[in-house]
Structure 1
Amino acid sequence: MSANQAEVQVRPGVEGDLEALTDLYNHYVRETAITFDTAVFTPQERRPWLLSHPEDGPHRLMVATDGDTQEILGYATSSPYRTKPAYQTSVEVTVYVAPHAGRRGIGTLLYKALFAALAGEDLHRAYAGIALPNEASTRLHERFGFRHLGTHREVGRKFGRYWDVAWYEKEL
């Protein structure tokens, strides 16, 4: 563990994190094509999302905080892959790291904690969609054993252009 990682704590997300998590996500909504949301959220609008990730079960929210300040440095989630019942053993996973906290291994810590928490769940596969280009996310997912399934070409339009999304899969 690097010195930077030693200062980071990972725990389940709680309702008190809502404002900071919303601010972090809104950065990616406003500034990047990493998410295909195009309008920022209020904390109240994001509350159902947070509540859909309890501390147990297959749909989790893990939060990385600075050990000294408790500032949220990132989060990872597992969410339903699709809503139909036969998909219940599959999840879609994602990681968001605060822009100033990149390149510290926080995404790695978050995924380690998330996959450890999911180890006892009745899950078969995890999927991740990566808007391209995003070399850091591609490396992170490949490091965790995800394999590239294919790419949806120009599947999303944001900032006046079309974006590709690469889909990755991992056995659980």
Structure 2
Amino acid sequence: MSRITIRMAKLEDAEEVYKVYEPYILNTVITFEYDKVPVEVFRERMKNVMDKFPWLVCLIDGEIAGYAYCSPHLERAAFGWDCECSVYLNEKYHRRGIGTALYEALFHIVEQQGIYNIYSLICIPHESSVALHKKYGFTEVGTYYNTAYKLGKWRHLLVMEKRLKETIGEPAPVIPIHKIDKKFLENEYEIAVKKIVTTKQ
């Protein structure tokens, strides 16, 4: 039986995490980047995210099978209670429930931090991604039509939104991820691991 672990990413994971990400740059429109990213640059990206938000990795028998994280949605201070979510899987580990397990833990964690709204930006058509987000309560906000050019075509970008809290009154400051209770996090990891199947379906 495979040994499955979910935990917060570490900066030492950057090289292996990037190996999961790079095929999406070169072969897909899931990310709109064109070129390979130097590992040291990718590590710095991770650090900037991890200073405030969760970045989860799923390991199967010691190999990073996938990861998910939240990052700032827009830069201005008034958007400080929003975030964007992303999930990427090693192509060997599709159809095992890893993406859904990571997302569920991720959303619980940012809710605990005090985030109000989560956004996802999806290059469409992408029926499985849209369905996954709808499963977790995301709704379609709008579409940027022909907003990006990649792999020989103009691409549309769908914006989806998940509201975690009612937007009433002045919000409390968002709690940085390193101040979230460790027992709460460990419990979320354990619950998520139980949702992952050990073999491809």
| TM-score with structure 1 setting the length | 0.90
From 75, 81, 84, the counterpart of 2:67: 75
Q: Give the structure 2 partner of residue 162 of structure 1.
A: 154
From 22, 26, 29, the counterpart of 1:26: 22
TM-superposed CA distance for 1:95, in Å, is: 0.7
Q: Give the structure 1 partner of residue 79 of structure 2.
A: 87
TM-superposed CA distance for 1:133, in Å, is: 2.0
From 43, 55, 65, the counterpart of 1:61: 55
Say whether residues 1:129 and 2:107 are aligned partners: no
The letter for the 2-side match of 1:95 is V
- SS of 2:112's partner is coil
Q: Give the structure 2 partner of residue 149 of structure 1.
A: 141
- SS of 2:36's partner is coil
TM-superposed CA distance for 1:7, in Å, is: 4.7
> Structure 1 stretches of 5 or more lacking a match?
none
TM-superposed CA distance for 1:91, in Å, is: 0.3
Q: Give the structure 1 partner of residue 131 of structure 2.
A: 139
Say whether residues 1:41 and 2:37 are aligned partners: yes
Q: Give the structure 1 partner of residue 94 of structure 2.
A: 102
| Sequence identity (%) | 30
The letter for the 2-side match of 1:34 is I
Say whether residues 1:116 and 2:108 are aligned partners: yes
* C-alpha distance in structure 2 between counterparts of 1:94 and 1:144, whole Å: 14
Q: 1:71 to 1:118 in 2, by over 3 A?
A: same
Aligned residues: 164
- SS of 2:107's partner is helix
The letter for the 2-side match of 1:17 is D
Q: Give the structure 2 partner of residue 14 of structure 1.
A: 10
TM-superposed CA distance for 1:116, in Å, is: 2.0
> Structure 2 stretches of 5 or more lacking a match?
165-201
- SS of 1:40's partner is coil
The letter for the 2-side match of 1:72 is I
Q: Could you list the per-position Cα deviations for residues 53-84 of structure 1 after superposition, in whole angstroms to 9, with x for gaps in the alignment?
A: 327x4x22011110xx2111111111000110
* C-alpha distance in structure 1 between counterparts of 2:95 and 2:71, whole Å: 25
Q: Pairwise CA RMSD of aligned residues?
A: 1.5
| TM-score with structure 2 setting the length | 0.77
Higher mean alpha-carbon deviation, 6-15 vs 116-125, is at 6-15
- SS of 1:19's partner is helix
TM-superposed CA distance for 1:119, in Å, is: 2.4
Larger relative contact order, structure 1 or 2 (CA cutoff 8 Å, min sep 6): 2
- SS of 2:114's partner is coil
